[in-house]
Amino acid sequence: MTDIDIEEIEAAGEVDLRDLGEPFLQSFCKKAATSFFDEYGLVSHQLNSYNFFIEHGLQSVFESSGEMLVEPSFDPTKNKDHEWRYATVKFGEVSVDKPTLYSDDKELVFLPWHARLQNMTYSARMKVNVDVFVKKVVKRDKFKTGQDEYVEKQILSKKTQDIPIGRIPVMVKSVLCNTTEKGKNGESYRKGECAFDQGGYFVIKGAEKVFIAQEQICTKRLWISNSPWTVSYRSETKRNRFIVRLSENQKAEDFKRKEKVLTVYFLSTEIPVWVLFFALGVASDKEAVDLIAFRWW
């Protein structure tokens, strides 16, 4: 039995996989794996992640910034002839265009092979809708009599404009890539590309760059497994070395003569080496010096 017949398996009800036989399981696994990669390819996780960021994540990044306050640099109390005005800036909808380039003042379609041959970055222009509100503080009539201590904020003007904010690298074969366009234009764009290229990478200054996905165990976390009558745990630390360097401490007031202080770089923090020795249980300076192996010659 080598052919896969799902209807026969469903009609048989609950079936033990051991009763199907090794040839059937090998054939099933082979066809299932082949069907999966034919449908999604080897780099679908890269493309799906990038497409989700372009369609949803990029907008949420700008929305998380909220309103930005822009205040004047002068003091309004010193100059009574001018009103104190300020502005608030709020980001709106973000849009990313298809990759294009300019040649002889003409906008042309930008393709990955253009970037490879000309040592360019395959990128697209990004624009954001910006709302600028110019406001001023207005005191109420009751404020002068002391009955009301609150002030009102009056909007003087509002300006909305789409502003180019930069360029973003485009992943090959993603939703932004010109090679994924359908129709005759898409066929012409794909002529200069390899037919077996699945994409999932960037072209940065003419070189192909790719993100390598790594799965690592989080440090400082207790991992519990279902073992009979026991609980096993493990702690995994990727950083297994110390980087010691000689640096000048200019902030310490005790070192007015600009003496060199030996520091240890540990977990993105610089620690004086003497503090580290004392934290490890060293009782005196002499004991710390004795622990350091060095030669005078």
**Residues near 193 by beta carbon (within 8 Å), at least 6 away in sequence:** 111, 112, 113, 179
Q: Are residues 100 and 179 in the same domain?
A: yes
180 burial via Cβ count (<10 Å: 0-12, 13-18, 19+):
middle
- Give the count of alpha carbons within 13 A of 80, CB side only: 0
Domain boundary among 156, 174, 209: 209
Q: How many domains does the chain have?
A: 2
Q: Are residues 68 and 156 in the same domain?
A: yes
Contact by Cβ (8 Å): 124, 96: yes
Q: Are residues 162 and 177 in the same domain?
A: yes
Eight-state DSSP code of residue 227: B
Using one digit for the tens of pLDDT, what is the confidence trace for 22-55? 788 888 888 888 888 888 878 888 899 999 999 9
Can you give the pLDDT at residue 187?
77
Can you give the pLDDT at residue 185?
74
For residue 266, list its beta bridge partners: 269
Q: What are phi and psi of 178, to 5 degrees?
A: -70, -20
Q: Are residues 263 and 148 in the same domain?
A: no
Contact by Cβ (8 Å): 204, 169: yes
Distance CA 179, CA 172 (A): 8
Q: Are residues 188 and 272 in the same domain?
A: no
SS3 string, 230-268, reads: ECCCCCCCCCCCCEEEEEECCCCCCCCCCCEEEEEEECC
3-state SS class at 112: helix
Closest CA to 128 of 41, 201, 208, 65: 65
Contact by Cβ (8 Å): 176, 98: yes
Q: What is the pLDDT along the chain (297 residues), one digit of tens a residue?
A: 445 555 555 555 556 666 677 788 888 888 888 888 888 878 888 899 999 999 999 998 888 888 888 877 766 555 555 567 778 888 989 999 999 988 888 888 898 988 999 999 999 999 999 998 887 776 665 555 555 555 567 777 888 889 998 999 999 999 999 888 887 777 777 777 887 888 889 999 999 998 877 666 555 565 666 665 555 445 445 555 555 554 555 554 444 455 556 666 555 567 777 787 888 888 888 888 787 765 554
Question: Would residue 10 count as lying in a domain?
Answer: no
User: Which pair of structure tokens corresponds to residue 279?
Assistant: 């934290």
Domain boundary among 160, 189, 209: 209
For residue 20, list its beta bridge partners: none
Backbone dihedral region for residue 176 (phi beyond 0: left; psi -120 to 50: alpha; all else: beta): alpha
3-state SS class at 100: strand
Distance CA 198, CA 112 (A): 13
Domain boundary among 192, 209, 226: 209
Can you give the pLDDT at residue 14?
59
Can you give the pLDDT at residue 268?
59
Name residue, tokens 């679908």: 44
Which residue segment(s) compose the domain that 186 sits in? 45-209
